[in-house]
Structure 1
Amino acid sequence: MHYSIAELLSAPWAILPERLAFVTALLRSAVGQDTRPDTTPQVRIHAATNAARRTPAGNGAIAVLRFHGIAVQRTDELGEALGLLSLARFAQSFRAALVDDSVAGILLDVDSPGGSVYGIMELADEVWRARGRKPVFAVANSLAASGAYWIASSAAEFYVTPGGEVGGIGVVTAHLDMSQALEKAGVKTTLVSAGRYKLDGHPARPLGEDARKHVQSRVDEYYGAFVRSVARNRGVALAKVRNGMGQGRLLDAQRATREGMVDDVATIDMVVRKLAQRIGEGKAANASRIAAARQREIDALARQPSTVARRAAARQRLIELLSV
Structure 2
Amino acid sequence: MRYAHILMAVASEYWAIDEDKFDQIVSFLALQASGEKFSSEELQARISRQTERDVARREGAVAVLPFRGVLANRMSLMSDISGGTSYEGFARTFDAAVSDPEVKAIILDVDSPGGVVSGVDELSQRIFSARGKKPIIAHVNSTGASAAYWTITAADEVILNPSAEVGSIGVMMVHDDISAALEKAGVKRTLIAAGKFKGEGAPFQQLSDEAREFRLQRAEFYYDKFVGRIASNRGVSVSAVKSGFGQGRMVTAEEAVAQKMADGIATLEQTIARFGVSAAKPSRSNFAREREKRAMTI
Q: What band does the TM-score fall into relative to the shorter chain?
A: 0.7 to 0.9
Residue 52 of structure 1, aligned match among 53, 56, 74 = 56
Mapped to 1, the partners of 2:140 and 2:50 lie a distance apart of 21
Cα distance, 1:81–1:62 mapped onto 2, change above 3 Å: farther
Superposed displacement of residue 85, structure 1: 2.1
Paired position in structure 1 for 2:154: 154
Whichever of the two has the greater Rg, that structure is 1
| Residue 126 to residue 24, structure 1, CA distance change in 2 (3 Å) | same
1:191-211 per-position Cα deviation (integer Å, ceiling 9, x unaligned):
221111111221111111000
Quote how far apart the aligned CAs of 1:83 are. Answer: 2.4
Pick the structure with more helix per residue: 1
- Partner AA of 1:22 in structure 2: Q
Q: Alignment length, in residue pairs?
A: 279
Structure 2 matches for 1:297-316, cutoff 5 A?
none
Query: Equivalent residue of 2:118, what SS?
Result: coil
2:60 is the alignment partner of 1:21: no
Q: Distance in 2 between matches of 1:78 and 1:172?
A: 18
- The answer to whether the Cα contact below 8 Å between 1:257 and 1:264 also exists between their aligned partners in 2 is yes
Match of 1:306 in 2: none
**3-state SS of paired residue (2:67):** strand
Q: Deviations over 1:76-129 (max 9, x none)?
A: 397255223222211111111111111111110100000000111110111111
Distance 1:149 1:275, change over 3 A: farther
The answer to whether the 8 Å contact 1:201/1:211 transfers is: yes
Q: Secondary structure at the match of 2:223?
A: helix
Counterpart contact for 1:110–1:139, Cα < 8 Å: yes
- Give the AA of the match of 1:188: K
- Measure the CA separation in 1 of the matches of 2:123 and 2:116: 12
CA shift at 1:267, angstroms?
Answer: 0.7
- Residues 229, 77 of structure 1: CA spacing in aligned structure 2 closer, same or farther, 3 A cutoff? closer
Segments of 5+ residues of structure 1 without an aligned counterpart are: 287-324
The amino acid of 1:170's aligned partner reads G
Structure 1 residue 267 corresponds to structure 2 residue 261: no
Which residues in structure 2 correspond to 1:143-182 (within 5 Å)?
143-182=143-182
What is the CA–CA distance in structure 2 between the aligned matches of 1:42 and 1:90, rounded to whole Å? 29
C-alpha change, 1:230 and 1:195, in structure 2 (3 Å) is same
Q: What secondary structure is seen at the aligned counterpart in 1 of 2:274?
A: helix
Distance 1:55 1:270 in 2: 12
TM score, norm. by length of structure 1: 0.79
Over aligned residues, Cα RMSD in angstroms?
2.7
For residues 94 and 37 of structure 2, the distance between their equivalents in structure 1, rounded to whole angstroms, comes to: 42
For residues 210-249 of structure 1, the aligned pairs below 5 Å read: 210-249=210-249
Structure 2 unmatched runs, 5+: 280-288
Other-structure match for 1:10: 12
Amino acid at match of 2:25: V
Q: More deviation in 189-198 or 156-165?
A: 189-198
Aligned equivalent of 1:135: 135
- Asked if residue 257 in structure 1 is aligned to residue 275 in structure 2, the reply is no
Q: Calculate percent identity across the aligned residue pairs.
A: 37
8 Å Cα contact 2:200/2:207 also seen in 1? yes
Scaled by the length of structure 2, the TM-score of the pair is 0.85
Answer yes or no: is the 8 Å Cα contact 2:166–2:253 preserved in 1: yes
Q: How does 1:35-184 map to 2 (within 5 A)?
A: 37=36, 42-44=42-44, 46-49=49-52, 50-56=54-60, 61-76=61-76, 79-184=79-184
Distance 1:253-1:12 versus aligned 2 partners, 3 A rule: same
- Alpha-carbon contact 2:175-2:201 (below 8 Å) kept: yes
Residues 143 and 13 (structure 1), Cα distance of their counterparts in 2 relative to 1, 3 Å cut: same
Structure 2 CA distance for aligned equivalents of residues 247 and 284 of structure 1: 34
Q: 2:29 is matched by which residue type in structure 1?
A: L
1:120/1:29 CA distance change after superposition, 3 Å:
same
Q: Is the 8 A contact 2:115 2:148 kept in 1?
A: yes
- Report the secondary structure of 1:69's partner residue: strand
- Distance in 1 of aligned mates of 2:292 and 2:249: 37
The structure-2 alpha-carbon separation of the partners of 1:78 and 1:160, relative to structure 1 and needing over 3 Å to count, comes to closer
Distance change (3 Å), C-alpha of 1:147 and 1:195 = same
